[in-house]
Amino acid sequence: MAVHSTPTPIFQANRVVDRARWAGNVYADYRRDEVMRIVKAAADVGAATAREYADWAVAETGFGNADHKEIKNRMCSEGIYEYYKDSDFITHRIDFERNIVEIPRPAGVIFALTPSTNPVCSVFFKVILALMTRNSIVISPHPAARECCTDAALKLAQIIEREGAPDGLVQVIENPTLEVIQSIMSSENIDVILATGGTPMVRAAYSSGNPALGVGPGNCPVYVDDSADVAHAAKCIADSKAFDNSVLCTNESAVIADHTISDALTIALQKNGCYICNDDERDRLAEVLFPEASFDISVIGQSAESIAERARIRVPANTRVLVTPLERIGDDYVLSREKLCPVLGYYVVSGQDAAMNACGAMIRRMGSGHSAAIHSNNPQMILRFGAELNVLRTPVNAPCSTGASGFDTNLAPTMTVGTGFFGRSSVADNVGPEHLVQWSKVAFNKEQVVNIDEFADLRLRSTFPRRASDSPIDYSFADGFSPSDSSLNTFADSLVAETDLRAAIHKIILEEIRSLQLVQESRH
Which residues participate in catalysis according to the annotation? 249
Spell out the residues 6+ positions from residue 447 whose beta carbon is closer than 8 angstroms to its own: none
| Measured distance CA(94)–CA(441) in Å, rounded | 10
Is the distance from CB of 422 to CB of 367 less than 8 angstroms? no
Q: What's the sign of the alpha-carbon dihedral 276, 281, 283, 289?
A: negative
Spell out the residues 6+ positions from residue 494 whose beta carbon is closer than 8 angstroms to its own: none
C-alpha dihedral (71, 76, 81, 86), degrees to nearest 10: 110
The 10 Å Cβ neighbour count of residue 182 is: 13
Q: Of 133, 128, 134, 132, give the one whose Cα is nearest residue 153.
A: 128
**How many Cα atoms sit within 13 Å of 423 on the Cβ side?**
31
**Burial class (CB within 10 angstroms; exposed 0-12, middle 13-18, buried 19+) of 397:** middle
Spell out the residues 6+ positions from residue 501 whose beta carbon is closer than 8 angstroms to its own: none
Is the distance from CB of 342 to CB of 308 less than 8 angstroms? no
The one-character DSSP state at 428 is -
| Measured distance CA(455)–CA(436) in Å, rounded | 24
Is the distance from CB of 64 to CB of 58 less than 8 angstroms? yes
Q: Of 400, 367, 390, give the one whose Cα is nearest residue 224.
A: 400
Is the distance from CB of 339 to CB of 246 less than 8 angstroms? yes
The 10 Å Cβ neighbour count of residue 350 is: 10
| Measured distance CA(506)–CA(486) in Å, rounded | 15
Residue 210 region by backbone torsions, left for phi larger than 0, else alpha for psi between -120 and 50, else beta: beta
- State the angle between helix axes of 146-162 and 32-48 in degrees (0 to 180), rounded to the nearest 10: 140
The 10 Å Cβ neighbour count of residue 115 is: 24
